[in-house]
Structure 1
Amino acid sequence: MIGTAGTLLRFQVGIERGIAGIDPDEFARFVRATYGGSQGWASRGAWRFRQVGPETKPDFTLLLVTPHTRDLICGSAPDRYTSCRIGNFVVLNVARWVHGVPRYGAALTTYRHYMINHETGHRLGRGHELCPGPGRPAPVMQQQTLGLHGCTANAWPYLNGQPYNGRLGQYDDPIPHS
């Protein structure tokens, strides 16, 4: 069990067949560590997470997939670049997992935590948010993959023990070609 209080969400983790070089157990451990991080979704009593096996119906499934499969699953906005959440699927683009994004300004590990937290945030009902001001950390629900807009990279929904949000909204950033 990840977290001590709040709504319990059961999740499964999957990696698309044919993706080489990513250890499924290590990937699942990273996902669990992200949810249970000291500033993660389960850290303040609103959410609990439990990874379940194929014999149990999950509340959502976190998938690591190729850009092509991302477009098939995510549907309405094919771009081969971003990740998405659609229904009960949290879909991470393996190209972003492996390479991150240009000018992110933080380590690839930080970006990976951001990917998980951002797309899971959508599954938790959260919308996109805007940078609260130059030099401030970006809210985890800001589309940091497409641009920081003066903010600094941030992977976590809580900062200093408090929810960290920006105003609802999104920028009209172009999506790079993969």
Structure 2
Amino acid sequence: MSTKVTHRWRSASATLLLAVALLTGCGLPTAGRPANGPVAAGPSPDGNLAPVTTDGPTEVAAVVPSSLPVVPVSYPASGGNRWVTASAETAPARTGRGTLMRYRVAVERDIRGLPVKDIATEVTATLNDPRGWTAAGAWRLRRVGADDPTDFTIYLATPGTRDTLCQDVPEGYTSCRNGGRVVLNVARWVKGVPGYGADLTTYREYMVNHEVGHKLGFGHERCPRRGRPAPVMQQQTLGLHGCTANAWPYPQGKVRYSGPVGAYDDEIPRREGAYSEG
């Protein structure tokens, strides 16, 4: 075969391969990247395109929707002390010899974007967790409805209503337990606390377990040693004091994780907006 024919064959082959690549979209570099490099697969939280690595050859990138619409959460500084109560949980009643404690979940009507059903589901998942207060078999915890007999009520309240229900120092920042009232401050539920060192889900689990722990008879505890997990009965909202965040009373099984009894001298309630980690 002559050199001229060879060149024509190579040119025709290259043209054919380019046409196939253009039609299929496979194997071509994207925005200057090599053909097998990462491609954009949707927006990241900062609004830029997030790279996604692949194990094999890269194909045409699919555009992934960033997220579903988010309902904004809003609440006044002080609500009207009116409530929506969740229905009873539908799971079969748990058997055992532990003391049965029945509780309701109620959300203040002025809080928008946090449906009572969702709050009740999250609270119940925390209290039913095998690392929670039922781990050792001393208690059984069950969510009941508005008209059922109950031992305590878990309220998600605005900061001002928190002060009304807690009847302690009116600081509008922390959560509390007052008799049969377990009061979760919606500002903490939504914002967490600065410098906590764990995600918001962990902080919410801590809120629930800490205040329910008071209802079950436990007082405040201290960090046992720097670098160790904080006991759930430590006032983690007001500082970890060298410990790390921990939401569970039984993180390793049936032996309760605890620390020295007592609170720190600097754990003084602060008002919303004036609190900072020390």
* Structure 2 match to 1:9: 101
Give the drift of 1:2.
5.1
Identity of aligned residues (%): 58
Q: Which runs of 5+ in 2 are unaligned?
A: 1-92, 273-278
- Asked if the contact 1:3–1:49 (Cα under 8 Å) also holds between the matched residues in 2, the reply is no
User: 1:87 and 1:174 mapped to 2: Cα distance?
Assistant: 21
* Structure 2 match to 1:134: 226
- Asked if the contact 1:3–1:43 (Cα under 8 Å) also holds between the matched residues in 2, the reply is no
* Structure 2 match to 1:89: 181
Within-5 A mapping of 1:1-178? 1=93, 4-161=96-253, 162-172=255-265, 173-178=267-272
TM-score (norm 2): 0.62
User: 1:110 and 1:3 mapped to 2: Cα distance?
Assistant: 27
User: 2:157 and 2:103 mapped to 1: Cα distance?
Assistant: 16
Q: Which runs of 5+ in 1 are unaligned?
A: none
- Asked if the contact 1:3–1:47 (Cα under 8 Å) also holds between the matched residues in 2, the reply is no
Give the drift of 1:103.
0.4
The alpha-carbon distance between structure 1 residues 33 and 151, as it changes in their structure 2 partners (threshold 3 A), is same
User: 1:4 and 1:36 mapped to 2: Cα distance?
Assistant: 14
How many residues are paired up? Answer: 178
The alpha-carbon distance between structure 1 residues 3 and 65, as it changes in their structure 2 partners (threshold 3 A), is farther
Describe the SS at the equivalent of 1:49. strand
Q: Choose between structure 1 and 2 for higher RCO, CA contacts under 8 A separated by at least 6 residues.
A: 1
2:178 alignment partner AA: I
Larger C-alpha radius of gyration, 1 or 2? 2
